[in-house]
Structure 1
């Protein structure tokens, strides 16, 4: 089993162990060269085996392994839109899923930047319209939104988070879930979100060119 397959197994089990998914919900994907490894359909993340993943080509055609999750097209669309991303995590984590059910969300960023780590790892969180699970009609909306942010929230469903690797995507997913929990805990109270100045200061600084 390759290291990448072992990482998928480790992260899948970690997601389930931390209560970020339930039952047989949630799925993961990673790039492996010209292929995409995806968790199979009907398998709890607690039981995912790195040796038994679905293999897709870059267009989402099933090449090898068990049948992929019916939401594999979400992963393919995001990876197509974000060449720098190499991994996707999709869960139905409780607080993020609850957030996806609220009316009057800011479609361009569903959560206020309540913490520095949310600002660094997640924001902006774009909200997509509702599509039934497995409905490939969502492909265009997901791909278009993914060109603008690595963090998406599917209405009445849950988050889809991209990262340079699975651990980065999981870090962002956990930060989103934590911030959503803070959001609900402080509901009805006055909060002090970070300002645009605070957020800008959190971004990696680009080294300046040496002066002539």
Structure 2
């Protein structure tokens, strides 16, 4: 097996491992959500209507650099969304989209601000996730959503779809999942806190930028 083939094999396994972990811990249910990874010759993406808890590495959809389906099961209907992110952000190597409960609930209850769905209330939220904008509701797979997210993809690590949940991109599938989990936990903390906590102040944010390279 060539080095490139071995690398693709490992990425296929990573997608399935991350999918099972998210599913088993309730970050997604049923056949909701999707995961993708950038390859040197295209992308891997979970099949349409696949359960993230029961993915088969060999059945993952593969598309070429032009977006043509070349092998595996039929790609997720969110393929255009993933492609747009990868094309707009060369550093993105993995994307995770779920319908995580607390983040969907946040959009139903009302986000903090459209350009920042949550205030900066914990240092790891600031360091690992950063500012996350809201994408107003449109049906799943709407091409306008893909265009809106692609326009933001080089500036932020993710976006939150109203009534649908988060999409997060990072340097690998695993790191995208870590950031998504941090975002979901922050939404849970925000929704359960009464009164609402004050955001970190400007001095605290500047220190996180200076020491850790945080982007906010």
TM-score, with normalisation over the residues of structure 2?
A: 0.89
**CA deviation vs aligned residue, 1:77-131 (integer Å, no higher than 9, x gap):** 1111110010000000000111122346412111011111101111201111211
Q: CA RMSD in A?
A: 1.8
Alpha-carbon distance, 1:190 to partner? 4.2
Alpha-carbon distance, 1:25 to partner? 0.2
The answer (yes or no) to whether the contact 1:59–1:76 under 8 Å persists in 2 is no
Give the aligned partner of residue 207 of structure 2.
201
Give the aligned partner of residue 104 of structure 2.
97
Q: Secondary structure at the match of 1:101?
A: helix
Q: Secondary structure at the match of 2:133?
A: strand
What is the CA–CA distance in structure 2 between the aligned matches of 1:59 and 1:24, rounded to whole Å? Answer: 27
What is the CA–CA distance in structure 1 between the aligned matches of 2:173 and 2:210, rounded to whole Å? Answer: 20
Alpha-carbon distance, 1:137 to partner? 2.4
Alpha-carbon distance, 1:161 to partner? 0.2
Relative to its length, the structure with more helix (as a share) is 2
Give the aligned partner of residue 25 of structure 2.
18
The answer (yes or no) to whether the contact 1:58–1:76 under 8 Å persists in 2 is no
Alpha-carbon distance, 1:204 to partner? 6.3
Give the aligned partner of residue 191 of structure 1.
197
The answer (yes or no) to whether the contact 2:116–2:131 under 8 Å persists in 1 is yes
Matched, 1:41 2:21: no
What is the CA–CA distance in structure 2 between the aligned matches of 1:204 and 1:51, rounded to whole Å? Answer: 44
Matched, 1:72 2:79: yes
Shift >3 Å, 4+ stretches: 102-105, 203-207
Matched, 1:172 2:179: yes
The answer (yes or no) to whether the contact 1:153–1:160 under 8 Å persists in 2 is yes
What is the CA–CA distance in structure 2 between the aligned matches of 1:25 and 1:105, rounded to whole Å? Answer: 25
Classify 1:115/1:105 alpha carbon distance in 2 versus 1 (closer, same or farther; 3 Å). closer
The answer (yes or no) to whether the contact 2:32–2:52 under 8 Å persists in 1 is yes
Q: Secondary structure at the match of 2:120?
A: coil
Out of 143, 148, 158, the residue aligned to residue 141 of structure 1 is: 148
Out of 124, 136, 159, the residue aligned to residue 131 of structure 2 is: 124
What is the CA–CA distance in structure 1 between the aligned matches of 2:210 and 2:62, rounded to whole Å? Answer: 34
What is the CA–CA distance in structure 2 between the aligned matches of 1:129 and 1:155, rounded to whole Å? Answer: 5
TM-score, with normalisation over the residues of structure 1?
A: 0.91
**CA deviation vs aligned residue, 1:47-76 (integer Å, no higher than 9, x gap):** 111111101123432122110111121111
Give the aligned partner of residue 114 of structure 1.
121
Give the aligned partner of residue 182 of structure 1.
189
Alpha-carbon distance, 1:40 to partner? 0.4
Give the aligned partner of residue 166 of structure 2.
159
Listed as ranges, the gaps of 5+ residues in structure 1 are 208-212
